[in-house]
């Protein structure tokens, strides 16, 4: 289930989640737009290292559309006037800041959250079971045929869980954080908090 | 069924999207087919497992994407449960699916206008709702077929019935 990446090899899922959690306030307190853009690029790179597929077009459109809707309300010095549309420095700055903030939070989430992160209590146990069956459904994915979609799905489902049968017990392994993981985590946290001094 | 929700959300990536923010909502299919079969509490638990599972697999659990997904999914489930209760046998899964899609889109649009884009974003509402209805019909048609024709579903209905 968990992809083999430098993150999965060196970080326990909970430790990685906490690393992301500690970075978030430092990221949100940042008021310098250039630094924030640099942070977003760093988090995007970390997401790629963590094995996540990033849809760049989605995120670019996200930043552009948020900025565009912010420009509708003029604020501060006029930069450019295009027909009836006026681009002001305050609105542009606010729009870009908001757009990058939102996208950056998604990237933090992408690199710091892994499927093997254990949620506490009964709910955590249920999620573990959902992942177990999900893996087995995915294994049978090749058998899904577009021409006989319902029949082929039936075959997979009957094989996995025939109605009325007992569900299988689920066991899962937990990975440990290595020394390199602790160092990288500490550097990430300290680096992002130190950027508040810039 | 929770695993099936995740399976369908991965299948959804195979379909081309006309717009970057558009989602077909295939992950709601297992919720839709279980609506007439199980108690409301089970449906809400299934929704919770779906949104948490998606958040963990996609890594979006600590972002606005998760909040939008959770708000949209729970509001959609609540409206689908209500329409199922109100109209009973007079409504097909296609109708229920359309109600659910509209509820989910309304909540997500409200959240994006309030927290992300600002009031001017209401201009995209007609397009957003039109796409929502189209996806609601598509998912509803498939759900109804699966409900009527699947041997596995028939076994589930007997088991819970």
Q: Closest Cα to residue B154, out of A136, A147, A150? A: A150
Residue numbers of the domain that contains B100: 2-16+29-160
Q: Is residue B22 part of a domain?
A: no
Q: Say if the Cβ atoms of A58 and B159 lie within 8 Å.
A: no
Residue A153's pLDDT is what? 82
- Residue A197 distance to chain B (closest CA, Å): 25
- Helix B125-149 to helix B93-111 angle, to the nearest 10 degrees? 150
Residue A186's pLDDT is what? 95
Q: Is residue B89 part of a domain?
A: yes
Q: Find tokens 């430092």 and name the residue.
A: A26
Q: Is residue B63 part of a domain?
A: yes
Task: Output the six-digit token pair for B44.
Answer: 């809400």
Residue A41's pLDDT is what? 96
For residues A102 and A29, the answer to whether their CB atoms sit within 8 Å is: no
Q: Is residue B21 part of a domain?
A: no
| Of the partner residues B4, B20, B156, the one whose CB lies closest to the CB of residue A61 | B20
Residue B117's pLDDT is what? 81
Task: Output the six-digit token pair for B52.
Answer: 């948490």
Number of domains in chain B: 1
Residue A197's pLDDT is what? 86
Tell me the ipTM for this assembly.
0.80
Q: How many whole angstroms separate alpha carbon A79 and alpha carbon A86?
A: 8
Q: Is residue B74 part of a domain?
A: yes
Pairing of strands A78-82, A85-88: antiparallel
| Of the partner residues A66, A113, A119, the one whose CB lies closest to the CB of residue B59 | A113
Averages of pLDDT over runs of 10 residues in chain A (198 residues) are 82 90 91 94 94 87 88 84 85 91 89 83 82 73 74 82 64 80 95 90
- Residue A11 distance to chain B (closest CA, Å): 15
Residue A170's pLDDT is what? 58
Q: Is residue B23 part of a domain?
A: no
Q: Closest Cα to residue B13, out of B33, B27, B1? A: B27
Residues in chain B with pLDDT values less than 50: none
Q: Is residue B97 part of a domain?
A: yes
Residues of A in contact with B45 (CB under 8 A): 126
- DSSP lists the bridge partners of residue A88 as A78
Q: Is residue B153 part of a domain?
A: yes
Q: Say if the Cβ atoms of A110 and B59 lie within 8 Å.
A: yes
Measured in residues, chain A has a length of 198
């Amino acid at each position: 289930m968990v992809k083999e990446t430098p993150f999965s090899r060196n970080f326990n899922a909970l430790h990685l989640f906490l690393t992301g959690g500690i970075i978030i306030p430092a990221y949100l307190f940042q008021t310098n737009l250039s630094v924030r853009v640099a942070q977003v690029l760093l988090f995007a790179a970390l997401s790629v290292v963590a094995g996540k597929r990033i849809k760049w077009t989605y995120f670019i459109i996200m930043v552009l559309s948020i900025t565009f809707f912010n420009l509708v309300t003029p604020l501060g010095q006029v930069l450019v006037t295009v027909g009836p549309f006026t681009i002001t420095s305050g609105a542009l700055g606010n729009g870009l800041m908001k757009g990058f903030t939102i996208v950056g939070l998604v990237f933090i989430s992408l690199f710091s959250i892994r499927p093997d992160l254990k949620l506490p209590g009964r709910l955590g146990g249920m999620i573990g079971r959902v992942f177990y069956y999900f893996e087995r459904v995915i294994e049978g994915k090749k058998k899904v045929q577009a021409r006989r979609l319902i029949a082929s799905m039936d075959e997979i489902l009957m094989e996995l869980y025939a109605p009325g049968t007992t569900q299988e017990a689920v066991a899962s392994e937990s990975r440990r954080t290595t020394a390199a993981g602790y160092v990288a985590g500490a550097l990430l946290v300290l680096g992002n908090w130190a950027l508040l001094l810039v | 069924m929770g695993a099936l929700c995740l399976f369908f959300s991965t299948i959804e990536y195979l379909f081309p999207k006309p717009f970057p923010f558009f989602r077909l909502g295939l992950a709601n299919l297992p919720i839709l087919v279980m609506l007439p079969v199980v108690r409301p509490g089970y449906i809400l638990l299934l929704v919770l497992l779906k949104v948490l599972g998606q958040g963990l697999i996609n890594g979006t659990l600590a972002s606005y994407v998760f909040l939008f997904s959770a708000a949209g999914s729970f509001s959609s489930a609540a409206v689908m449960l209500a329409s199922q209760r109100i109209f009973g046998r007079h409504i097909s899964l296609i109708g229920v699916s359309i109600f659910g899609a509209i509820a989910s889109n309304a909540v997500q649009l409200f959240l994006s206008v309030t927290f992300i884009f600002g009031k001017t974003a209401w201009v995209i509402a007609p397009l957003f709702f039109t796409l929502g209805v189209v996806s609601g019909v598509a998912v509803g048609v498939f759900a109804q077929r699966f409900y009527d024709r699947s041997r596995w579903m028939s076994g589930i209905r007997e088991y819970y019935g």
